[in-house]
A = this chain, B = another copy of it.
Amino acid sequence: MRIGILGAGQLGQMLALAGYPLGNRFVFHDLSGSPSADIGETLVDTAQERLEDFLARVDVVTYEFEHLPVALVERLARDKPVFPSAQALAVCQNRAEEKGLFTRLGIPTPEYRLVNSAAALEVAARELGGRSGKPVVAKSITEGYDGKGQAVLRHPDEAADAWAAIGHHQLIVEAFVEFVREVSIIAVRDQHGEVVFYPMAENQHVDGILRYSLAPMPDLDAQVQARAEGYIKMLLDELDYVGVLTLELFQTADGLLLANEMAPRVHNSGHWTMNGAVTSQFENHLRAIQGLPLGRTEARHPTCMINLIGQQGKREALLSEPDSHLHLYGKGERPGRKLGHVNIIAPDHATLLARVKATAAQVPEAPPVKFSFDPDA
**When the two chains form their complex, are residues B326 and A22 in contact, meaning their CB atoms are under 8 A apart?**
yes
Residues of B with C-beta under 8 A to A20: 13, 17, 39, 330
User: How far apart are A280's CB and chain B's nearest CB, in angstroms?
Assistant: 10
Judge whether A375 is part of the interface by a CB distance below 8 angstroms: no
User: How far apart are A309's CB and chain B's nearest CB, in angstroms?
Assistant: 16
Given known A292-B315, A316-B292, A316-B293, contact A278–B323 (CB-CB < 8 A): yes
**When the two chains form their complex, are residues B293 and A21 in contact, meaning their CB atoms are under 8 A apart?**
no
User: How far apart are A40's CB and chain B's nearest CB, in angstroms?
Assistant: 8
Interface magnitude class on chain A: 20 to 34
**When the two chains form their complex, are residues A330 and B23 in contact, meaning their CB atoms are under 8 A apart?**
yes
* Residue in contact with A327 in the complex, picked from B21, B38, B278, B326, CB distance below 8 Å: B21
Residues of B with C-beta under 8 A to A116: none
A319 to B39, CA, bound (A): 25
**When the two chains form their complex, are residues B21 and A17 in contact, meaning their CB atoms are under 8 A apart?**
yes
Judge whether A25 is part of the interface by a CB distance below 8 angstroms: yes
Residues of B with C-beta under 8 A to A134: none
Interface string of A20-36 (1 = CB under 8 A from B): 11110100000000000
Judge whether A328 is part of the interface by a CB distance below 8 angstroms: yes
Within 8 A of B (CB), among A1-55: 13, 17, 20-23, 25, 38-39
Give the oligomeric copy count.
Answer: 2
Given known A293-B320, A322-B296, A323-B278, contact A22–B330 (CB-CB < 8 A): no
Judge whether A295 is part of the interface by a CB distance below 8 angstroms: yes
**When the two chains form their complex, are residues A21 and B320 in contact, meaning their CB atoms are under 8 A apart?**
no
A325 to B20, CA, bound (A): 12
**When the two chains form their complex, are residues B296 and A328 in contact, meaning their CB atoms are under 8 A apart?**
no
Judge whether A67 is part of the interface by a CB distance below 8 angstroms: no
Residues of B with C-beta under 8 A to A340: 23
* A279 (CB) vs chain B CBs: closest residue: B325
A17 to B17, CA, bound (A): 6
**When the two chains form their complex, are residues B315 and A23 in contact, meaning their CB atoms are under 8 A apart?**
yes
**When the two chains form their complex, are residues B293 and A319 in contact, meaning their CB atoms are under 8 A apart?**
yes
Given known A278-B323, A295-B319, A319-B295, contact A328–B23 (CB-CB < 8 A): yes
Judge whether A357 is part of the interface by a CB distance below 8 angstroms: no
**When the two chains form their complex, are residues B296 and A21 in contact, meaning their CB atoms are under 8 A apart?**
no
Given known A17-B17, A39-B39, contact A22–B328 (CB-CB < 8 A): yes
* Residue in contact with A292 in the complex, picked from B25, B300, B319, B323, CB distance below 8 Å: B319
Residues of B with C-beta under 8 A to A38: 25
User: How far apart are A133's CB and chain B's nearest CB, in angstroms?
Assistant: 48
User: How far apart are A370's CB and chain B's nearest CB, in angstroms?
Assistant: 27
Within 8 A of B (CB), among A284-322: 287, 292-293, 295-296, 300, 312, 315-316, 319-320, 322
A296 to B323, CA, bound (A): 7
Residues of B with C-beta under 8 A to A326: 21-23
* A345 (CB) vs chain B CBs: closest residue: B278
Interface string of A219-244 (1 = CB under 8 A from B): 00000000000000000000000000
A and B contact pairs by CB, cutoff 8 A, 21 listed? A17-B20, A20-B39, A20-B330, A21-B325, A21-B326, A21-B327, A21-B328, A23-B326, A23-B340, A25-B330, A39-B39, A278-B323, A278-B345, A287-B319, A292-B316, A292-B319, A293-B319, A295-B319, A295-B324, A296-B323, A300-B300
Q: A17-B21, A23-B326 are known; give 9 further A-B pairs, CB within 8 A.
A: A13-B20, A17-B17, A20-B39, A21-B326, A21-B327, A23-B312, A23-B340, A293-B316, A293-B320
The 9 closest A-B pairs by CB, nearest first: A23-B328, A21-B327, A293-B319, A278-B323, A296-B322, A17-B20, A17-B17, A292-B315, A22-B326
